[in-house]
A and B are shown apart, each in its own frame.
Chain A
Amino acid sequence: MGKVRTEHELRIHEGAYWSFEWYWRMDGQMPALDAFEMLTKEEQDGVIASFEHWGSVKPGESPSRKRVNREHNAPLILAVKSKKHRFAAFHADGTRTWIVATYYAKQSEKLDKRGRVAIRVTLSARDDFNYRVKDGAYYERR
């Protein structure tokens, strides 16, 4: 069972061009943040560096493929990388914010079972996010 989180823990990084937040489930949990906290400090710093890099990339330009990977096309799912660690994110429509929904550790070059499951979870998180934002029930809670 993950921790119940508050909005104080929502934001990851605000870059010059892109911002990042954890996906906040209806039950108050942020599963990707739980996974992030399980990493060592060194591993966490590698992930934060990847977010900071991506946040500074101008719209229309591509971030380093070594740091950000395209996991799914339509809807676009990108994953922040640092060594074997992947944090999959979707874009919040009409904003400069990416929502980081899922973590998985990649074992091989190809997209494996864990990767496929992570993408499925991220896609369903995106549906839930869009629905609750439209409904005025995502950011309005305390």
Chain B
Amino acid sequence: MNADEAAKFRRPRGMSTLSERIRKDPVRAARIDSVLLAISLEAQILRIMKKSKITATELAKKLNVPKSQISRDLNGGLSKARLGRLHQIAAALNHDLVAVVVPHDLAKARRKKLSQLISDFN
């Protein structure tokens, strides 16, 4: 039996994953979601920087902040950033920050479509 076959065998017996068990605590689930949101933002910003051939140093210059600040932002710092700061970063890259609030129970297919739409933009 390989890993995938074993997983299929365990699932009907109600064995949960570590991530599911941790997510039962709403405080921890919110913290994980906030990190995931930051990962998604980081990835989008890095993609735009790569596409526009803008280095971290150039972005720092445009924003008039030290390069270390940009490094912090792109290494997990965005999870604690204010909206204004995110807006400034987006503007410095000739982009707009668009806020989208979606319901928790948004169907998987629609959520996937939304992610696809976001990735099409950058």
Contact = CB atoms under 8 A, between A and B. Distances in A.
Interface of A: 7-14, 19, 21, 41-42, 44-46, 48-53, 64, 66-67, 83, 92, 94-97, 99, 133, 136, 139-140
B32 A136 contact: no
Interface string B1-43: 1111111011000011111001000001001100110010011
Contacts of B36: 49, 52-53
A66 B74 contact: yes
A83 B76 CA distance: 8
Contact of B2 (A9, A52, A94): A94
A13 B76 contact: no
Contacts of B2: 92, 94-95, 133, 139
Q: Is the interface of A mostly helix, strand, loop or mixed?
A: mixed
B75 interface: yes
Given A51-B19, A53-B39, A66 B32 contact: no
Given A45-B32, A53-B39, A66-B74, A7 B15 contact: yes
A97 B7 contact: yes
Contacts, number: 86
Interface residues of B, number: 27
B18 A46 contact: no
Nearest to B1: A139
Give the most central of A48, A51, A99: most B CB within 10 Å: A48
Contacts of A140: 1
Given A12-B17, A41-B28, A83-B76, A49 B3 contact: no
Given A13-B18, A50-B39, A96-B4, 19 more contacts: A7-B10, A9-B18, A11-B7, A11-B16, A11-B18, A12-B19, A13-B19, A14-B19, A42-B31, A48-B22, A66-B42, A67-B39, A95-B4, A97-B3, A133-B1, A136-B1, A139-B3, A139-B6, A139-B9
B110 to A, nearest CB: 15
Contacts of A48: 18-19, 22, 32
B71 to A, nearest CB: 10
Contacts of B32: 45, 48-49, 52
Nearest to A44: B22
A19 B6 CA distance: 12
